[in-house]
Amino acid sequence: MFDPFIEAWQLRDLVMKGELRPREVAEFYLTRIERLNPELGAYMTVTADRALADAARLEASRADAAAMGLYGIAYSLKDLTPTAGIRTTLGSRNYADSFPAQDAVIAQRLQKAGGILLGKTATPEFGGRPTTEGGLCPTARNPWNRDYNAGGSSGGAAAAVAAGLGPLAEGSDGGGSIRGPASNCGVVGLKPSRGRITYAPHRGEAWGGYATRGPIARSVRGVAMMLDAIAGPAIGDPYYAPPPSRPFEEAVRVAPKNLRLGSIATSKLGEVDTEVAAAFESACATMRELGHRVEEISLDPGAMLVECTRILICVGIAAIPVTNTDWIDPVVREMYEVGRKVSGADYVNLVATMHNIARAIVELLDPYDALLTPTMTRPAVRNNSFPSTPACYLDELWTWIAFEYPFNATGQPAVTIPAGFSSAGLPIGCQIVGRPNGEFDLLALAAAFEAARPWLHLRPPLLED
C-alpha cells in the first residue's frame, strides 16, 4: 500500500490529499506490527481498537484536518506514559494490571493533533536501564541485528521507528533514554529543554528535573513535527520553556551559517570505542565542511556530575510505589535500594549541588552555538550482557552514558543523529547539544547535517518487506 518507512510529513500529505484513508494507515501498521513485533519486542501493548477508533474519528472530522498537525499519522506512546483505560505497566510486575484513570496531557495533545495511536512501546522497569530487558516488557531487539539490544529506556520506541512500525514515537529521557536507543537504532531522538513538555496532570517534574518526554523519528523533520504537537506547558506547571517564535518544523528549512561549535570526544568515565570515535570525527569534519568552526573543549561534564546524578536518579526510581520489592528486576532493584536510603535533607542538598554544577557547565559552554559529542561511548550491546552483574550496575552504567546525562542536569536540548555504522553493522550516533531553550536552532543544525549526510535511504537488513 505504501512504504512502511514513509516519512511522517509524506504520510500526512497523502492522507490530506485523500490518496490514503486514516483507516488504511491504521490497518497497514497494525498488520505490520502483528507480523514483526513478536521478534522485535518493540510494543508491549498494541491498541488496535483505539487505532481504528482514532481513524474513524479522523475520517468523520475531515473538515478540521488542516488544523491538525499530525492528521492521519500513526504514533506510539512509551509504556511509562499514562493512558486512560489503556494498560500502563511501567515495565513492572507491580503494575501489570494498571489502567490509569487519566491521560497524560501529552497523550491528549497527540490525539487532538490528529494522530493514530498504535500502542504502548516496551520499556525496562521504571525506565531504569539503558537497555530494554529484564522487566515485564519484552526485550526490545535492535532491528539492525536482533542479537543486540535496541537500548533503553525508550528501546521499544526507537525499535518501532527503525523497523517501520510507525513513523513517530514518544519516548522519555532521564539520562539518555531517548538519545541512547535512537543512536543504537539509527534514528533521530530529541531530548527537549527542561520544561518544554509538560508532565501534567500526574506530576510537575520527574527525577528531580532530569527527565523529560520527547520525540523519536527517522528524520529531523519528523522529530520537529512531533515536537510542535506536544510542546508547551500546562496550567500550574512549576517551570516551562518559552514558546518558539515560529513552528519547530520550519527549522529544517533554515541553513545555519558560520557557527562556533564545541567538541568533547572523551570522558574519564568510559573509554570511547574506536569506531565510535572515528564516526564522531567524521561528523565533526562534516560540520567543518558546512562552514562551521569546530573547537575541542577541555571539559568532562559527565565526571563533574556523576556523583550527584547517581543518587538523584536512584531516588527517582525509589519514589515509585511498589507492592512487592521482590518482583523488581534485580538490576533496577540496585537503584531502588540505594534510593530508599537517602534522607529528604540529603536529597534537597543533592538537587542544589546538581543545579550549581549544571550552571557552571552552561556558563563554560556559553561561547559556543552548540556542542558536539558522541551520543554513547560504544554501539548497541548484545541482549542480556549489560550490566555484567546487578551489583556492578551503578558502577558500569556511567561508562556507557557519559555524554548523555550531563544535559539532563543542565536542562539543555540535545539531539542524536545517525553518524555511521560499526563494522558489525550497528548504527552509531552523534549528539548535538543546543543552547538552553534553543531547540529551533538545534534542529536547524541537525537538519543541515542530515542534508549533507543523507541516511533516510538506509533500512535495517533483517526486515523482509
| C-alpha closest to that of 197 among 100, 105, 90, 126 | 105
User: What residues are labeled active site?
Assistant: 78, 153, 177
Q: Please list, residue by residue across 426-451, b when 16 or more beta carbons sit within 10 angstroms of its beta carbon and e when fewer do.
A: bbbbbbbbbbebbbbbbbbbbbbbbe
Phi, psi of 130 (to 5 degrees): -85, 10
Set of cell numbers at residue 34: 502483528
Set of cell numbers at residue 350: 543533592
Q: Is the dihedral of CA 162, 164, 167, 168 positive or negative?
A: negative
- Sorted by sequence, the CB contacts under 8 Å of residue 211 that are 6+ apart come out as 127, 172, 173, 174, 177, 205, 316, 408
| DSSP output for 243-287 | PPSS-GGGGGG----S-EEEE---BTTBPPPHHHHHHHHHHHHHH
Whether residue 153 is preceded by a cis peptide bond, meaning omega within 30 degrees of 0, is yes
- Beta pairing, strands 116-121 & 43-46: antiparallel
Phi, psi of 452 (to 5 degrees): -80, -30
Distance CA 294, CA 259 (A): 8
Q: Are 22 and 72 in contact (CB under 8 A)?
A: yes
